């Protein structure tokens, strides 16, 4: 029996390795195709792709004009996903996102209600400037992002699979924005900071986007293949050392767990979703880099985008000018030993 189990395990390993090698080629092609349209921003492209390969959602934060929307549009084309875009504005209503029931009347005069699906019924939803809508409207995404269906008039309506929300957000200090509620933030697998491009990348932007034509992106995979890669990510083995480091890092970010800096500065810390996000994204990052298992370095590299929107500092820490990223950097440094 033990020999049979060993043989089955070896077979499973061979199957995973073969699937991973095929996925590696496709991921490399995806990166190359995105690179034709998005210049520089390698870490941003990587983190957004990691969120999608992990089956989750991503929040892109940065000032206007940094190609956040263009990145989302490009990814939809390259991944072969049906996509739709919602421009979040202060007057946007939940029904503008979910859809609504309308009354129909047939030839005999009988009336009935019919559900007209909203733009959320797509595979890749671009929530553009999500923090410009009121919290009431933002909350329309809560059920969809967690349970992958929406309830309208008491009826469950399943969303297409796979389903991803890639939202863009302007910095909160800009005029006309509303902070996202904690429950909304927690549903994003990663918060991706989008910074200004490097000199050479910005020079290329000037040269290649102000002419007669611009480069376009082609589809590399389709929705079915993306779902298969997402399943592969979940099948990748995770060493016990990596699991222990994830637990150590996440728990150290919560007050009352023995870390002096956290106890002094953090008002509330990350929940179990943070650990789940680190597990999935560490696997996806290993595959993205051509490895078959994640390492502790993957956990450290992903600590900031996974944790920064899942914890908040207390008043005294903010008054001293400390930021969440400073706390996370210290936690990572201490975890490294």
Query: Which are the contacts of 65, defined by CB distance < 8 A and separation ≥ 6?
Result: none
Query: Which are the contacts of 171, defined by CB distance < 8 A and separation ≥ 6?
Result: 61, 62, 63, 177
Angle CA(210)–CA(212)–CA(218) in degrees, nearest 5?
Answer: 95
Among 94-108, 194-208, 243-257, the range of highest mean pLDDT: 243-257
Place of tokens 């263009």: 70
The CA distance from 118 to 121, in Å, is 6
Measuring CA to CA, which residue among 278, 292, 205 is closest to residue 242? 278
Tokens of 329: 């950097």
Q: Which residue has the higher pLDDT, 213 or 334?
A: 334
Residue 129: which region, alpha, beta or left (left: phi > 0; alpha: psi -120 to 50)?
left
- % of the chain exceeding 90 in pLDDT: 41
**109 pLDDT more than 80:** no
The CA distance from 54 to 224, in Å, is 15
Predicted local confidence at residue 5, as pLDDT: 42
The CA distance from 212 to 12, in Å, is 52
Question: Burial of 257 by CB count in 10 Å (0-12 exposed, 13-18 middle, 19+ buried)?
Answer: middle
pLDDT category, 113, cuts 50, 70, 90?
confident
Q: Rg of the chain's alpha carbons, rounded to an integer? A: 22
Measuring CA to CA, which residue among 153, 62, 150 is closest to residue 114? 153
261 C-beta neighbours (distance < 10 Å), count: 16
The CA distance from 176 to 64, in Å, is 13
Predicted local confidence at residue 286, as pLDDT: 92
Residue 115 Cα distances to 104, 141, 152, angstroms: 10, 18, 8
**175 pLDDT more than 90:** no
Predicted local confidence at residue 173, as pLDDT: 65
Per-residue exposure over 73-106, b if at least 16 CB sit within 10 Å of its own CB, e if not = bbbbbbbbbebeebebeeebebebbbbbeeeeee
The CA distance from 220 to 256, in Å, is 47
Query: Which are the contacts of 15, defined by CB distance < 8 A and separation ≥ 6?
Result: none
The CA distance from 221 to 29, in Å, is 9
Angle CA(316)–CA(318)–CA(319) in degrees, nearest 5?
Answer: 60
Q: What does the pLDDT average to over 306-331?
A: 92
pLDDT category, 252, cuts 50, 70, 90?
very high
**214 pLDDT more than 90:** no
Q: What does the pLDDT average to over 129-158?
A: 87
Element (H, E) at 324: helix 324-336
The CA distance from 186 to 138, in Å, is 13
CB 274 within 8 A of CB 250: yes
**311 pLDDT more than 60:** yes
The CA distance from 148 to 222, in Å, is 19
Query: Quick check: helix, strand or coil at residue 152?
Result: strand
CA 256 to chain CA centroid, Å, is 29
Predicted local confidence at residue 51, as pLDDT: 95
Q: What is the per-residue pLDDT across 254-296, written as a single tens digit (0 to 9) for each?
A: 998 888 898 899 999 999 999 999 999 999 999 998 888 899 9
Cα torsion 31, 32, 33, 39 to 10°: value is 90
């Amino acid at each position: 029996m033990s020999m049979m189990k060993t043989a089955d395990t070896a077979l499973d390993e061979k199957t995973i390795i073969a699937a991973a090698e095929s996925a590696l080629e496709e991921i490399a092609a995806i990166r190359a195709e995105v690179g034709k349209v998005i210049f520089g921003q390698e870490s941003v492209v990587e983190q957004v792709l990691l969120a999608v390969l992990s089956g989750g959602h991503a929040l892109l934060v940065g000032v206007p004009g940094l190609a956040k929307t263009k990145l989302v549009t490009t990814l939809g084309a390259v991944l072969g996903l049906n996509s739709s875009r919602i421009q979040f504005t202060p007057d946007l209503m939940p029904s503008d996102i979910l859809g609504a029931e309308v009354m129909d009347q047939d030839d005999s005069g009988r009336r009935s209600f019919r559900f007209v699906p909203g733009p959320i019924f797509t595979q890749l939803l671009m929530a553009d400037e999500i923090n410009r809508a009121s919290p009431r409207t933002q909350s329309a995404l809560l059920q969809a992002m967690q349970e992958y269906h929406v309830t309208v008039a008491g009826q469950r309506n399943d969303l297409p699979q796979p389903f991803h929300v890639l939202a863009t957000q302007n910095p909160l200090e800009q005029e006309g924005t509303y902070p996202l509620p904690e429950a909304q933030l927690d549903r994003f697998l990663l918060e991706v900071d989008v910074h200004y491009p490097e000199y050479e990348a910005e020079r290329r932007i000037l040269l290649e986007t102000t002419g007669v034509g611009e480069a376009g992106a082609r589809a590399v995979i389709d929705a079915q293949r993306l779902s298969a890669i997402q399943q592969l990510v979940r099948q990748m083995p995770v060493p016990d050392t990596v699991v222990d480091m994830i637990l150590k890092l996440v728990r150290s970010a919560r007050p009352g767990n023995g870390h002096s800096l956290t106890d002094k500065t953090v008002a509330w810390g990350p929940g179990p979703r943070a650990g789940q996000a680190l597990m999935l994204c560490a696997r996806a990052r290993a595959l993205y880099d051509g490895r078959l298992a994640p390492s502790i370095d993957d956990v450290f590299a992903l600590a900031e985008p996974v944790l920064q929107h899942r914890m908040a500092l207390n008043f005294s820490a903010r008054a001293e000018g400390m930021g969440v990223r400073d706390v996370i950097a210290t936690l990572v440094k201490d975890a490294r030993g």
